[in-house]
Amino acid sequence: MPLPFKHLLSTKQLTRADTEEIIRVASVMEKVRTKGKSDLLKGKVLAALFYEPSTRTRLSFETAMLRLGGDVLTAEGIQFSSLYKGETIEDTMEMVGQYADIIAMRHPEQGSAEKAGSASRVPFINAGDGPGQHPTQALLDLFTIQKECTAIDGLHIAMVGDLRYGRTVHSLSYLLGLYKNLRFTLISPTELTMPEKVTSFLSEKKIPFAETTDIAAGLSADVLYMTRVQQERFADKSEYERLKLQYVLTEPMVKGKKVIIMHPLPRVGEISTDVDALPNAAYFRQAGNGVPVRMALLAMLLGKA
Ligand code: NCD
């Protein structure tokens, strides 16, 4: 089933049927990946434009395209691009669409993805727009939750850390809004609580949520989704220093518990390395899941799935 849209800008545009189909295709892509390579996207070119730092998202987009037989063009760092000279995002899209068949872009400005999507002649994927959205991360998070917990309906999800600036928790909350009987615990310093637009969405969807500063409230959830305090969004660096390590998950806190521990990565101290050996530490498996999910999205948006 092709996706009923050309660009992936936000998880708010997805229906449950879309997410289920993406997860289904991603499971098929997992098998393709284990076999090595396919030539499904032979002759197609992905432009990966990363105007903000990225390791996982960029590399997993690129390997996803390469494993499907396609090719990749990469541009990194705003200071090396025409955007730095003052070119508009719209003009950049118009031009890149003449070089590539599909575009993935990360940009520091919230709303940049909407602008890019409105100007792009080829399918466009938001790979993170400032503190706004990160839809492909949310889809790989959902794929991970489904694999680790077998079902998504009925789960208790705890989100911890920088819920204000963390785009992954925004996108994931909207996506989980498509599922039934969920319950959220939102754990953050009072300065970094979930934006009102997300909590009002949860209320609209009648998803019960509790807001607290106490991480203990999340340790018996089904999923504990840890996040990094987003240093790059703080104008006042002393404020970042004050808030950065309010929550540090250590092995004794979760050992023997069934809670699945996730993190979009990079971690900068929020999960101590002694947690890594626990069977419920899912964050590296989660990062690996980025490849089949992005393979699925590239193939589906190019009409080849
Ligand atoms: C996240 C991001 O860029 O929003 N990283 C990622 O894509 N895996 C999370 C983060 O940087 O904290």
User: pLDDT tens digits for 81-125?
Assistant: 777 788 999 999 999 999 999 999 999 999 999 999 999 999 999
Q: What is the CATH number of domain 11-133+289-301?
A: 3.40.50.1370
Tokens encoding 174: 């909207």
Q: Which residues contact 150 (CB under 8 A, 6 or more apart)?
A: none
> How far is Cα 109 from Cα 232, in angstroms, rounded to an integer?
12
With 0-12 CB in 10 A as exposed, 13-18 as middle and 19+ as buried, what is 34? exposed
What's the CA-to-centroid distance between 71 and ligand 1, angstroms? 24
Q: Which residues contact 147 (CB under 8 A, 6 or more apart)?
A: 285, 289
Please report, to the nearest 10 degrees, the dihedral formed by the alpha carbons of residues 211, 224, 244, 192 taken in order.
Answer: -30
Q: Looking at residue 125, what is its pLDDT?
A: 98
Ligand 1 atom at minimum distance from 167 CA: 4
Domain ranges of the chain: 11-133+289-301, 135-287
Q: Looking at residue 169, what is its pLDDT?
A: 98
Alpha helix segments (H runs only) across the chain: 16-35, 56-67, 89-96, 112-119, 135-149, 167-176, 196-204, 237-243, 251-254, 283-301
Q: Do domains 11-133+289-301 and 135-287 have the same CATH topology?
A: yes
> How far is Cα 22 from Cα 28, in angstroms, rounded to an integer?
10
Please report, to the nearest 10 degrees, the dihedral formed by the alpha carbons of residues 52, 56, 57, 61 taken in order.
Answer: 130
Q: Is the CB of 168 under 6 A from ligand 1?
A: yes
134, 171, 188, 244: residue to mutate for ligand 1 pocket, most atoms within 8 A of CB: 134
Strand, coil or helix: 278: coil
Strand, coil or helix: 72: strand
Q: Looking at residue 305, what is its pLDDT?
A: 87
> Over the stretch 167-185, which tens digit does the pLDDT of each residue have?
999 999 999 999 999 999 9
Ranges under pLDDT 50 in the chain: none
What CATH class has 135-287? alpha beta
For the chain, helix (H) and strand (E) counts, in that order, are 10, 9
Q: Is the CB of 290 under 6 A from ligand 1?
A: no
| Residue 201 neighbours by CB distance under 10 Å | 17
Q: Which residues contact 137 (CB under 8 A, 6 or more apart)?
A: 57, 128, 167, 168, 171, 172, 264, 290
Q: Which residues contact 30 (CB under 8 A, 6 or more apart)?
A: 292
The amino acid at 92: T
Active site residues: 56-57, 85, 106, 134
What's the CA-to-centroid distance between 264 and ligand 1, angstroms? 6
Strand, coil or helix: 282: coil
Q: Is the CB of 70 under 6 A from ligand 1?
A: no
Beta bridge partners of 185: 158, 210
Q: Which residue's CA is the closest to the ligand 1 atom numbered 8?
A: 264
Answer yes or no: pTM beyond 0.95: yes
The CA-CA-CA angle for residues 25, 53, 185, to 5°, reads: 65
Q: Is the CB of 137 under 6 A from ligand 1?
A: yes
Cβ 171 vs Cβ 298: under 8 Å = no
3-class DSSP string for 150-200: CCCCCCEEEEECCCCCCHHHHHHHHHHCCCCCCEEEEECCHHHCCCHHHHH
